[in-house]
A and B are shown apart, each in its own frame.
Chain A
């Protein structure tokens, strides 16, 4: 059975149907890239899955459990993590403190009352080494460079150890080397974590994706391997008709 299942998911903002009857299913450990022209409803779909936006119709099933009406923090506890388009780290907190917030296996008030120091061994050390922030432990996140902030947010998701990770343009503002390294991290997470990645950078998509889903005007346009999708006439029309980037 699929781990994540969207059934006829819809949301309407005023007169605009941002997502319109979307069906999508993801297997455990799959990495799915979500493509589509601007305004296709990709980010909104992520918002619906993580609970930031409430759907006006349809259902979201995670591990067979209905999540459609669950508040954000409960979905996070079930194992859904989210990375935003602009890096949203806690700028006033240090790198370690940000990661300590992300280490949220026990998010209750009472268990937080008994934690007084951040353990730097184990998972924290692995994650810090992976994103190369080991020298910036006590730097305020607001003083990091843009690329480092993106890394920090990815590190926070790794710390959170969410089973389903939703990424909105994770490589925005990164250099080519940084992008490649992000791709390597994502590839190493395949199998253990399920991921949905919204991305415009096609070379990055080629590096990580097995299956891509193309959305247009709130619905599903095409789905399959990159080659299949690239040669799909409907996809070409959606992008070119939109005056958009012809390389998709």
Chain B
């Protein structure tokens, strides 16, 4: 029984890494060139209450890298074992080293307790340094007659506050958080894939990992927008633009039914019919259509094989990827019950898809509502 030897990184992966590095450096240089007001950036970054989100900008990529690195190591082991059934029977099936004769278990005292003690000491030191270096903010006494501008929620709720731009408060503040919480609780019950329980892997759980990461990334991104981009009047200031309190934005936000001409003004003979029946029905059809298209999209997406960047420059390979179902992903889908599938679709469309789509409609096409009724608007 031999421990699996880590394979040396291949030449292509080294080349890819170099390309990635160059792209990142070029983007950073372009950003630095575009900055008009470094002082404004410094004011935002150095605000003590923004330290956590600035830290997240480094922590999330770091831990994502740490997870992916271990997932790749496991994925290599899995593909080796899949290819060699005899090895699979005798192998200890971990990337961690193992020799016969080694105890499978360790005593918690002292091997785990000492790690816990050390981490407690390290966290305490970090807290002391942080608390000595930076003071908790304290503004003027509360004054209901003097509104803060911008008036921002604590950083971890800025994602919700940013959602207020795209949805009415009852969706952004109540329905969305509830749906996200319930969606998170439902997550383990709709993931019918028995593989990947207790080890890092992407190959065996591509869709589940990608869906969660997408949600997590979107959450961080919304907080990033709320922290770094929204200035006075909750106006969009690119990083590096000065937060000018006199800035006025002449956005004319329209509803979809206005764009297509379904307004009371265009049909003055039937104002009530328009208001209570036609316009709400039109919006309902749009939203229902969105759910159907969204469901088809996720149904297509969950059967895709791994996407490779080189498909972007080769249309033949791209269409091959888009057209052919991956047999393993199809097998996973066959394991899923109807209820699990429907639950996943509902939460995926109403959070993971609706959020970015509405953001896009609002920011790019200045569309305010898709579905307008006398009682609520979406």
Check if A and B associate: no
